[in-house]
Amino acid sequence: MSAHPLADLAAGLRSRTLAFLRSPVSREFWNMLVDRGHTFVMPAAWSALPRSRQIEGLLAAEGKRVSDGTTFAMANDLVRAAREIGQDQSIPLPFTPDVLPAPSGMLVFSADEPLAHLPTGLPVVAVTWGPPMDGFSPGVHLTWWAPMREEDQEEDAAARGRLIPIVPDFDLHLSFLPHFDTRLHRQQLPSGLIYSAVPLRSVVAAWYALTADGTTLREERPQATVTQALKELKAKKRGVQVATTSGAGTAHRGITDRAAQTMRDLDGADYFDPAPELAATTKKAEHGVFDVTLDHQLDAGHRRLAHIYREAADHWHRLEMQVTQRYPGIFEGLEELRAQNSSQWQPWCWMPSIRVSAWLIKMYDAPIEQASWDGPRIAALGAWRSGGRHSVLTTLPLQATASGRVPAELTETMPAPGLGLVIDDNGTVHLMLAYLDEVDDRGTADAELVLISNYGQPTRMLEDITKLTVFLSGDTLLDAVKATQAYYDHAAVQNGTEPHPTDEALYAEHAYALSLFTGVLAGICTPGAELQDAGALTGRKLPAPWPPEPNVLSETTLWLLTGTPAAR
């Protein structure tokens, strides 16, 4: 039986791609892409790994998608229909699990009839997808690929095992509804999304085409030599699913009718009109004037300051990325909820953490235990981001600012909904985020100070972040600690669990530890506190005035606390 030409095309490219992804030249190539500024989608925790480890993980994940997934090819009529719908942004393409033709796979096109053309003029000749990477919400990891230009290949590349058959143009995590990628649904797109909207829409349209009622899928075999090559590479499912239809019109109707029906079933137009986010989480942490390439211009003291800035910015960026990967659109959704309902809680509270936990359960189907853990930590991040990502590095010994009194004035003096605390302790940098939470039972207290801390461990993630809390009630921290513990002990009993045993010594120890942080926080927030814009000390920016104001920067603003007014 002769080989099917589309099967031969698809399986041949799959074989060459798999060999490439497993060869040393792929690591070199990925390194070069990163050097040139290409950003790959990966779990937030990976950003703390050395680049070589990141690249190994990325290549292994992509290799598994190509090796284990199903291979598809489409007749020209189907390709043209998908391409036409991809270019027409007035057609919404809701992405649900049943749109996928397989959990993972590779879809191949010819250069003469590609899925799309990129701004460079290169055609999209392949799409790979697979289950989400660790920590991401339900959906798929998606990459589209373009051919490597012949003139860019090394001499005798194939003979030397250094052939680069295709190159990754763009990868992303695409969530299932009700979480959305605006590029699939909105006619008016921000300028930054226009480039990637058409390829992404075309990919989803192609998946629609592959799963449409009017499409026929039939497994075809490539040439025996290609099948043997795939076998030697230990690739699974070595046949190719070739899709055909009765015509481009049939394919077009099949896609649009099904997409329209899905939209009707959703009955939720608000899904597709998200509120804009003022300071989005960037793919990479932004270091601004503290960029490492500029360190040579600084003296030793300012280089240390730049190092501290980057450690803080990177840590908090990893937490933001982890949250947005686990809960896509979470910060936009919470800001919209806050805009609509903030009159229901105290003005000094960005959003009660119990509201955040409830949102995780309602909108993301998070288990109660996970929502209870993540909620206060996300509230701390949300308050800090909403206020402009302002963080303060103290140059004073914590013992010098420690205070045993309850800083009840924070409800009036905190200049932002959340503040970062950066504590340089003999070479170890402790990072904390502070915000005021509203106590659910106001008979006990109105405000609760919440601190989330990495305790000097820069790679800690959401599940490892420590939460410290104390009610802002009474006169002394010791009394406030006891009241706070009693409140949570009572809640534990109500939930059928045993409260944590404690004694006077533990109360005193906890109160003293809190006094180190509450003292410096109260000092930062006291009117007249002396703070400097650390970035301005590099001479690369104008100093911002204190107290800080919300801004639209995605980077952290670092302030230096150089002195405190006399205690009131």
pLDDT digits (tens, 9 = 90+) for 286-332: 999 999 999 999 999 899 999 999 999 999 999 999 999 999 989 98
The pLDDT tens digits of the residues spanning 57-102 come to 999 999 999 999 999 999 999 999 999 999 998 898 999 999 999 9
Residues 538-562 have a mean pLDDT of 87
- Residue in this structure with the two tokens 């405190």, named with its chain if needed: 564
Q: What is the 3-state secondary structure (H, E, C) of 96-121?
A: CHHHCCCCCEEEECECCECCCECCCC
The pLDDT tens digits of the residues spanning 410-441 come to 999 999 999 999 998 888 899 999 999 998 77
User: Which residue has better confidence, 336 or 492?
Assistant: 336
pLDDT band at 515 (very low <50, low <70, confident <90, very high): very high
Q: State the sign of the Cα–Cα–Cα–Cα dihedral 82, 84, 85, 89.
A: positive
pLDDT at 276 over 50: no
| 106 touches 116 (CB < 8 A) | no
What CA–CA distance (Å, rounded) separates 503 from 505? 6
| 210 touches 299 (CB < 8 A) | no
pLDDT band at 396 (very low <50, low <70, confident <90, very high): confident
SS3 387: coil
Lowest model confidence (mean pLDDT) among 190-194, 279-283, 533-537, 543-547 = 190-194
pLDDT at 445 over 80: no
What CA–CA distance (Å, rounded) separates 89 from 335? 27
Pairing mode of beta strands 139-147, 466-471: unpaired
Q: Write phi, then psi, for 455 (nearest 5 degrees).
A: 45, 45
pLDDT band at 178 (very low <50, low <70, confident <90, very high): confident
What CA–CA distance (Å, rounded) separates 496 from 485? 16
How big is the CA angle at 532 (ends 529 and 533), to the nearest 5 degrees? 135
- Closest by Cα among 431, 518, 507 to 472: 518
pLDDT at 274 over 90: no
Residues 259-268 have a mean pLDDT of 80
**Element at 391 (helix H, strand E):** strand 390-394
pLDDT band at 553 (very low <50, low <70, confident <90, very high): confident
pLDDT at 22 over 60: yes
pLDDT at 45 over 90: yes
Pairing mode of beta strands 240-244, 70-74: parallel
Residues 503-513 have a mean pLDDT of 90
Could you give the strand order of the β-sheet that contains 70-74, starting from the edge strand earlier in sequence? Answer: 166-175, 139-147, 126-130, 105-108, 70-74, 240-244, 216-220
User: Which residue has better confidence, 155 or 16?
Assistant: 16
pLDDT at 567 over 50: no
Could you give the strand order of the β-sheet that contains 447-453, starting from the edge strand earlier in sequence? Answer: 466-471, 447-453, 428-438, 418-425, 390-394, 557-563, 530-533
| Residues 6+ away with beta carbon under 8 Å from 553 | 279, 388, 389
pLDDT band at 442 (very low <50, low <70, confident <90, very high): low
pLDDT value at residue 278 = 56
The pLDDT tens digits of the residues spanning 189-207 come to 777 778 899 999 999 999 9
The pLDDT tens digits of the residues spanning 112-123 come to 999 999 998 999
| Residues 6+ away with beta carbon under 8 Å from 227 | 11, 221, 238
Cα 522 to Cα 364, 408, 447: the distances in Å are 36, 9, 15
Residue type, 450: V
Q: State the sign of the Cα–Cα–Cα–Cα dihedral 231, 233, 238, 243.
A: negative
Give the residue extent of every domain in the chain. 5-270, 290-563
Cα 234 to Cα 56, 69, 144, 301: the distances in Å are 19, 12, 23, 55
Please report, rounded to a whole number, the percentage of residues in the chain having pLDDT higher than 70.
Answer: 95
Q: Which residue blocks in 327-418 are alpha helix, DSSP H? A: 330-341, 353-364, 368-386, 398-401, 410-413
Please report, rounded to a whole number, the percentage of residues in the chain having pLDDT higher than 90.
Answer: 70
| 55 touches 34 (CB < 8 A) | yes
pLDDT value at residue 434 = 98
Q: Which two tokens stand for residue 385?
A: 């981001």
- Residue in this structure with the two tokens 């919470």, named with its chain if needed: 334
pLDDT at 496 over 60: yes
pLDDT band at 568 (very low <50, low <70, confident <90, very high): very low
Q: Write phi, then psi, for 445 (nearest 5 degrees).
A: -165, 160
Residues 362-377 have a mean pLDDT of 95
